[in-house]
Every structure is written in C-alpha cells, then in structure tokens.
Chain A
C-alpha cells in the first residue's frame, strides 16, 4: 500500500516534466534535449537556496526562473544561431552540467533537516507519502490550469500555430522565432519545477540526476496517449500526461517487486518507452492480421 501511495506521489511530481515536454515536443514539435540539464539545474538551485536559508516556495520559484533561462539559451541557439534542434539542446545541457557544479559547489548536496515544500505545517500529521500526493495534486491543478489558460490566449494560440504550421503562422504575422523561444522557456521552467520538487522529496540534488529524464517525461506523454487514444480537449490531454506519469511509476514498482533492482531502472525505462512508442504500430499490425484471418 505504502509503495502505491508513494508511486502516485512520485508520478504526480514527475508529471510536471511530462507537461513541460508536452509544450516543446508535442506542441512545438521540438525534441528538446535541454531537459536533461534543466532537471538537475532546478534541483541544484532549489536545494542550494533552501540550505542557505531561503523559503522552500521561493527557492522553487527561483529554480523555475533559472530553468527558463536554460530554455532561452537553447531557443536562441536554434532560432538566431541556426544550430540544429538536437544539437542546440545538447549544447545547453552540456554547459548546464558545469553550471550545476558551480551552483552546488560539489557534485551533490543534501537537504539534511531543512524545511521543504513537503514539510509545510499544513501537511504535518499526515501519514508518510501523503504530503507528496497532496502537494503533487496541488501542483498539477495549478500547472494544468495555467497551461490551459495560456494556450487559449491570443499568444498561446500563436504558439500552437507556430508548432502546427510555421509558414502559415509567419504569413499571419506571428513571430515564430519568438514563439519558439517562449515555448522553450515555459517548458524548461516546468522541467526545473519538476527537478526542484523531486530533489526536495528525495532530500538531495545530484549533478547526474538528469540522465534519462527525457525518457521518463516522454514515457508519461506516450503512455497517456496510448491509454487514452481518442480525440480530446487539450486540458484532458494534459491530464492524461499526469495519469501516464503515475502509470509509469506503477510499472516501475511492479518491476522492482518482481526482483529487478534499482540499477536496472534506466534499462527498464527505455524498454517501457520503446514498447509504448511501438504499441500503436504493433496494434495496427495485429488488427490487420486479425482482419485478414476473418476474410
């Protein structure tokens, strides 16, 4: 039981990554590798600020701001510098590695007995893992609510059009470079928020904690899309990302229960994502075969 409550909590706070990546990967059609640097950047910023006596909420907010700067750099490299998409992200990700070491002053930093967003007085007295679930739900409602609101503004619609048909967007007077940069900044702010939350929940930040995060974030998007494949509104689509993130955590729990250990998790994550990506294709093949047999 505790394991499953923990999985729900983990799923909810990791879902911020899925939603962040949804903005870049799905809406802008921009495979943004910056994520792997921004996630530990958010973690490092929040943990360092908190251990220097800053309020956890303020520290988390600043982590988001710093994360958006990483997105800005990738955006400028891609739009103004004409650096290819993947390379732009990889450049920023690599540079941020050094920045993270600078911020923390060492490769990892723990929070010891510091306050975090999960130890707010309101949440005291709750059984173990429940504060994470409560905070996770709060964060999701806020993030999904604000994202949906933004996407329905004039600016948000211009952002969607940029990812959908950049030529048409320009012919409507939309500055597609600016929209791409804006999207990457918002996306990376959310990724950094995820990093800040995960670090506060784990009690430490590590310079290597970003490895494989893009797979985790993608997995929540793809699992959500495979599990709920019908057409739906954008709000509901973002909710399925959160559900996908929780489902992914459940699968990890099951994998651990059947005897794999934590060292295997990256391999397992990649396999889960690989399968989820191939599922629509596989399903189509199976369906096709079944139809043929009926003939």
Chain B
C-alpha cells in the first residue's frame, strides 16, 4: 500500500494559558495527530475539551506554547494565520463571521478566489463572463444564491451566508479545511442540506477536512474518522470500520466517562 501523504500533523502540540500564575491551565495537552489526505475527521468533545483551541492552533490564530505543526508536509509552527491561508481554509459557526456584509456575493467570491495569493493594483475582474461562471457556481448550492450575486451579503439569510462561506472556502483548493460547527446556527432543513453538500464536495474533491460538531448523529454519519477530545487531549480516535460500528449510545457512553 502506498504511504498516503499527511495533510496535517501535530507533534506534542501544547497550549498553556496564564503560564507561571495561579491561573495556569493546560488547554491543549501534548496532542499528537496525523491526518492523511482525503480523511474527513469529525471532532467531538464537551465544552472546554479543547476543540476550538485545536482549530485555532491549526489555523494559526493561537500560538503553540510548545510542539510542532505541519500542514501539507511543511512546518507551519511559526507561520501566522495569514501565511497559513495558502494551505488552509476555515468556516465558522456564526454566519456573520465568514463573509463581508457590505460587499456583494460576487465580490466576496472574487475575494475568496485570491485566498493566500498576492492582491495587486489591477481590476478585480468582475466581467460579464466572470459573472456567468459565478452564477453557475452559486447555482450548485440550490438556495437562490445565484439570483442574488449583486446583493450585499448582510442582506442574505443565515443559510445563504453559510453556503456562500462554504463556496468561498473551496474557491482555492485547500490542503486542509476546518469546519467549526458550520451548520449549527441553521434551521434543521438548511443545516442538513449544507451538511450533505459539504460531504459530497469533500469526497468528490478528495479534500482533507476536520469538522467540529455537537450533533452526534452528524458525527457518525459523516466522515471516515472520529476524534473525541477531553481535557485538552485526544481521548478516542476511531477510524474507518471502528467508526462505522459506533452508535449514538456508544458515543454518549464516552461522554459520560470523560
């Protein structure tokens, strides 16, 4: 079997807050993790387990106290958030966080098409041809986004905004995609639609993705690997068939234990 390329590797990743004071707390505790290309990892854990910290250190918004991070075979431990966007895309839980509210849908997509690339003093290129491709692209979301290309995103529904955030994250193919409860703020129907689209896209494009969720059913249904975080550590790591054999009751039992 060919050795699959590691898209993401954490080596003894540790974050300690308020170091040296009485409030000192380890919020990420020597976490080592290798995620291979094409793996879709769902991440579970109770509040304070370290899920958001894990995402923040991968994205570069939070520096490691010690340890190393590699993205796509390259050490990024000391690269900042902006430099890491060349290899990494992220979607947030709050629909407001992922788009620029006063800019139109088309403008947001154009911004996303230059993620991690140099932005020059040349026209953004919103030509009629470009508009047509953006219309085709947004049609794949099937939620009316394609009719609202010139609408400020602040005027969109939460579902449309999250669908747009998703499209934006995939405009430049990311080596690793971080989904931070990206469907949690949506109504059940919209949430299920976006979840299905996300899953389909990740499989088709063979993307590497990590998804935080509190929805146990989603965590079981989607992805091919499941992590349970507790107290800043990886408490459980289920792959492929192990994950397939899990039930919601099993997961609840794990939550009870930690």
Contacts and interface: CB of A to CB of B under 8 A. Distances in A.
Q: Do A and B come from one complex?
A: yes
Interface of A: 150, 152-158, 160-161, 164-165, 167-175
Given A150-B121, A153-B121, A164-B100, 14 more contacts: A152-B124, A155-B120, A155-B121, A157-B103, A157-B111, A160-B100, A164-B102, A164-B103, A165-B100, A165-B101, A168-B99, A171-B59, A172-B114, A173-B83
Contacts of B119: 154-155, 157-158, 174
22 contacts: A153-B121, A153-B122, A154-B121, A155-B119, A158-B119, A160-B100, A164-B101, A164-B102, A165-B101, A170-B81, A171-B59, A171-B85, A171-B98, A172-B112, A172-B114, A172-B115, A172-B116, A172-B168, A173-B82, A173-B85, A173-B114, A174-B119
Interface of B: 59, 81-83, 85-86, 89-90, 96-103, 107, 110-112, 114-117, 119-124, 126, 168
Contacts of A165: 96-97, 99-101
B120 A168 contact: no
Contact of B97 (A153, A160, A168, A173): A168
B1 to A, nearest CB: 35
A123 to B, nearest CB: 33
A173 B121 contact: no
Contacts of A168: 97-100
B124 A154 contact: yes
B123 A153 contact: yes
A172 B89 CA distance: 8
A152 B90 contact: no
Nearest to B178: A171
A154 B114 CA distance: 9
A169 B117 CA distance: 13
Contacts of A155: 119-121
B106 to A, nearest CB: 11
B117 A173 contact: yes
Nearest to A175: B82
Of A157, A161, A167, A174, chain B has the most CB atoms within 10 Å of the CB of A157
B120 A160 contact: no
Contacts of A164: 100-103
